Amino acid sequence: DSETDAPSAGRDHRLAALAKTKHEDLKETFEEEYDHYKGQRKRKLENDFGGGDLSDSSTEDLEPSPAKVAAVEKPMSNAEKMMAMMGYKEGTGLGKTKQGMVEPVALSTQRGRVGLGHNITKTIGRDFLETWDESKEDKTIEEHVRWMAKCPESTRDWVLDYLEGSEWIEIGEKKLSIDDETSFCDGEILRKMLQSKNVFDVVPDRDLREARARANPYETIGAAFFQNRAAMKVANLDRTFGFIFSGETEEKLLNKNPLKSERPTNNCDRETPLFYFADVCAGPGGFSEYMLWRKAFYNVKGFGFTLKGKDDFKLGKFTASSAHYFEPYYGKEGDGDVTKPDNINSLEEFIMRGTNDVGVDLMMADGGFSVEGQENIQEILSKRIYLCQLLVSLCIVREGGVFFCKLFDLFTPFSVGLIYLMYIAYDQISLHKPHTSRPANSERYIVCKGLRKNYSDAVRDYLKRVNVQLDEFAKAGSSKDVLSVVPLETLRSDEEFFNYIVEHNERLAERQCTYLQKYLSFAKNSSLIDKDQGILREDCLKHWLVPNKTLDRRERGAERQQIDPDQYFGRFTRKFYGREDFSARLPPFDATMLSERTVKELRYAEFSLNIL
């Protein structure tokens, strides 16, 4: 039996050993899982109770134990294990020599669909950390006008003696650079401005417009209820210069164009003389639309002169006023080109004939053309249109009349010489850049008030000779050009005039640089936006006495389609018959009719219409 029991005992011993080993394995596994569970539970409770030490006690007021529990290391993920097997250590790069990237992959600075390595990406790459310091700007509602001191009478008389001849006309080789034009601006300021402009040479127009729309604090003023932004520029200037353009007072303006109600309430102009204005180089006609709207009751007549074709007046888009009080004219050549001498002479005759040889109360000029890719020499390219617009004002503005004209840079002796001649011909002049003129461009306006006929006629004749000379050079394709119309020594000798021009140029150039830098920041970071645009629009329109409303072209089109037949026949005919009975005869014109109340209330124009 002992031999039989021996194998059985050995088998039982082995089974017991296996059971013990299995039990120990299960115990070890249980302890590992329990420790892991305790660590997770502790971290959860620390998060729930603000990270303080925990106690098994249910008493809430016990002081936390100062003992520190060792942090349980988070198990590595499968990806981390794989990286560790390949030799990766935290804080180092991959690769045999640890040459791999350590920092996260940066956001792309690529702009749009341009190719990799394009100049725009190198110059103005995307940067969502870019910021803008608004303290560099001066955002205002009211604008300060800087009038140039009046020219002394002795100076005017002295200049007229030289204008009789042509000694002041300097002719030389045509110049196509303004980099060295430092006679009327500090050289460093000029260089900085040109460099700021050059940054945008590689920027697509779309990106520039998008950045400008967000960066310009006055951009949302737009066109209001007029056909284009030009109308709002006149509204801005008119208010800034005390309504000398429209010849109105604030009280009369509010009577004729209330800010709240839809219709004018009172005709203040019934006894006033007819107001004449001329709009030159101003297609599609925003300037004229504003002036006709501002006069309200149409004791006004406008004359227009602009290029035929795509830049012609868009009379059908006069949404704020009627174009029936506006007469376009295109000159003897029939093309509306203001630079042609024959067109200027015929325009002068046409307007004098239309105003009984008196001239217009106001002339407006907005000439300009595309200089894409040549923005830095826009002044040189525009010199002849500068000349001809100023010349036309001397031909058609009446004694004591007002003139304003759009200009650009004023760095060359030719441009400054033209300003000097306006200084002689008008009582007083000012150079001004309104809020509605975008701050990053070189646009500005010359405003002249009080034409002096005893001086302006001589200046007019002199500028006509200059224009004829330029016309001859253009027709011959010559490389010659008129470099100046007033000697540089003469311009410098008048300290009041010279200092005014230098101060104006430097102030505008520095402001232009500021906003070009702002455009650059906003082009880099598309999340930036000027947050004052909305309030500035409201406050500016209120200050300029322009209703805060916009033009809904769809509603206007629907209104034209649904217009009542009575409106086609005029407001007056409804006093006698309606659309249901167009065959009704007018009442006899006798004493009974005159005694009726309805007829007594008729104005003269209405009464004359009905007796016809």
Q: Structural domain boundaries of the chain?
A: 19-55, 143-185+229-494, 564-611
**CATH of the structural domain 143-185+229-494, one choice from 3.40.50.300, 3.40.50.970, 3.60.70.12, 3.40.50.12760:** 3.40.50.12760
* 608, pLDDT greater than 70: no
406 catalytic per annotation? yes
pLDDT tens column, 524-540: 898 899 999 999 999 99
- The answer to whether 351 and 359 are in contact (CB under 8 A) is yes
Mean pLDDT along residues 427-445: 97
Rounded Cα–Cα distance for residues 386 and 474 (Å): 16
Surface-to-core class of residue 27, CB atoms within 10 Å of its CB (0-12 exposed, 13-18 middle, 19+ buried):
exposed
Would you say residue 115 has pLDDT above 70? Answer: no
User: For 67-76, 138-147, 204-213, 574-583, which range has the lowest pLDDT when averaged over its residues?
Assistant: 574-583
pLDDT digits (tens, 9 = 90+) for 70-97: 556 778 888 888 888 877 888 788 777 7
| pLDDT number for residue 14 | 62
Alpha-helical regions (H) of 477-494: 488-493
State the DSSP code for 114: P
For residue 501, give every residue at least 6 positions away whose Cβ sits within 8 Å of its Cβ, in sequence order, or none. Answer: 184, 410, 416, 419, 431, 491
In terms of residues, how long is the chain? 612
Distance CA 362, CA 244 (A): 9
On the question of pLDDT at 195 being above 80, the answer is: yes
The yes-or-no verdict on residue 297 having pLDDT over 80 is no
Using pLDDT thresholds of 50, 70 and 90, give the confidence band for residue 512: very high
For residue 554, pLDDT over 60 is answered with: no
Q: Are 444 and 407 in contact (CB under 8 A)?
A: yes
pTM attached to this predicted model? 0.74
Of residues 83 and 132, more confidence is placed in 132
Tens digits of residue pLDDT in 224-242: 999 999 999 999 999 999 9
More confident residue, 56 or 303: 303
Catalytic, out of 406, 433, 518, 524: 406
Residue 284 CB partners (closer than 8 Å, separation 6+): 227, 228, 311, 312, 313, 314, 317
| Span 364-371, average pLDDT | 91
Closest CA to 299 of 249, 346, 338, 246: 246
